Structure 1
Amino acid sequence: METDNQTEYYYEYDYEEEIDLESLHILSIVLYSIAFILGTSGNGLVIWITGFKMKTSVNTIWFLNLAMADFIFTFFLPLSIAYTAMGFVWPFGWFLCKLNSFIMVLTMYSSVFILTAISMDRCLSVVAAVWAQNHRTPRKAWFTCLILWALAGVFSSPYLKYRDVMKVSETIQRCSYCFGNDADMRVFRHKALTITRFLFSFLLPTVVIISCYTAIGYRYSTIHRKRSFKPFKVIVAVTVTFFICWIPFHIFQILELKATGDDPSLKVVHVGMPVATSIAFFNSCLNPILYVCMCQDFKEKLKKSFLKVGPHTLWEVICSVY
């Protein structure tokens, strides 16, 4: 059976399949809705605080751009919610079909690129402290973020080209891949997009981030006075959460490339992909929660009014990172 993607991250399933996916689709709608509500409100608050209530610094610029990526991602989730709820019938036209897919991939790449940049910045601050103190400026941080967003746009551009509205019948149309009429070329392009996404949005960033924190750990081990890893806890938590949420998605994407015809693993992909996609989507609403909940005096400050404690708490978290 030949499969298509439902949204950028998720498959359109043949409803004549023996597998009953209705409950998984309902679960996806619920998780998407929660991610939309928490993601837009939480990341919107982070953007407001880091962008307007804090003094501009390298640290706030990193977190501001990460929150922007998550906010944009969750802001577009209602399209995926509606698409799933309507049985994968796309009524929004070709422009939103392309834009929705592009935005989802763009924000995924930008998030992982920014997390990688944060880890490299942290590594330089520890391993080359004098150099970092002289060269780390908000202007350079903004320039780096612009480069990373542009790079994410380059990696996401194929989804503008290959996503389109496809007619299934006179009354049903779907937002799916359009790789051309040649069967071999369709397979090649699908594999190329999947492998590229796996390498540059997961594997290589993982290697870089692990290398950075290994270098930090080694540097700290050579310092005679005792140093604590406590300042890294928020960055580490955000990074680990991102990769844990995206691991299942990439695993099922790779499995799908190898599954053909009556291969039993194809059914495993059909069952697992909606769950993996929901987990990946849900990641975008977790960072604001981590920023606040990892404060030592969280329970104490929770008693205060939210608007009053919000800026103070986030300021404390971001300052503690560096």
Structure 2
Amino acid sequence: MDSPTGDLDHFEVREPVKQTIPFVFNSPHSGRRYPPEFLASSNLDSIAIRRSADHYVDDIFADAPELGAPLLRAHFPRAYLDVNREPYELDPRMFDGPLPSYVNIGSMRVAGGLGTIPRIVAENMEIYRRRLPVDEALFRIETIYKPYHACLRKLIAATHARFGLCLLIDCHSMPGNIRLSGSDMRPDFIIGDRYGTSASAELSRAALHILDGMGFTALRNKPYAGGFITEHYGRPVRGLHALQIEINRSLYVDEVTLAKKREFPAIAAALSTFMRQMADFVADFSGSNSALAAE
């Protein structure tokens, strides 16, 4: 069932009737509700503004509640606010006036235009026509970013309390032109575990094995090892594991029109199988090995 999350309805939790598996699924970049005032302030048209979104990833993982796990999904778009960043990664060049002293203005993500309030989408496509008021950035962070993470923390804590462990699956998509460095290989999926620091290696290997067995090409950590959410919430020694999954969006979406391809139902069905098999692996593995649970 769907759980509302406030009057502004910036995000929602789709909850199972009863949670039966120690998983939380999160789709932070697939929001499709673009505030009119945001669109009016942008240089970009209705297609270009969506270029950095994780198109329909929330729909791909929509079976999670039926399998017994909650799914947190954003309604706000990534171009408006990126919750897969620190709360205050802000580019001073974007704003009219000085930023608070606690703001991180020096991160590589800020330098690349992809801070908490992004400056660009896709390949250096500038979002805004003019500088934003500082208060606008702080408003988005206070009213959307912080409640979103409070909700995610609550889901993770409740899952951990119920099962003694939690596996967060952070769900994303990547452009179809991604290639492994020095190779012509085009991966279908990338599993990120922050180079072994955000999740047990057994979980990463299981995810790769399942995808490979389904006929997909899957890699680990290259070129995407996981973002802020994976790094921040993954604490394997406490039984808190976080994996990022990146889906090659050319498998299921037309990257020019951004419409779903006819292959979309098959990809969604494949991910349902993936979720089910991951749940079976965790049940079997945690039943005989304490490595996944808190120490």
TM tier, shorter chain? under 0.3
Higher relative contact order structure (alpha carbons within 8 Å, sequence separation ≥ 6): 1
TM-score computed with the length of structure 1 as normaliser: 0.25
Query: Considering only CA atoms, is the larger Rg found in Structure 1 or Structure 2?
Result: 1
Choose between structure 1 and 2: higher helix proportion. 1
Choose between structure 1 and 2: higher strand proportion. 2
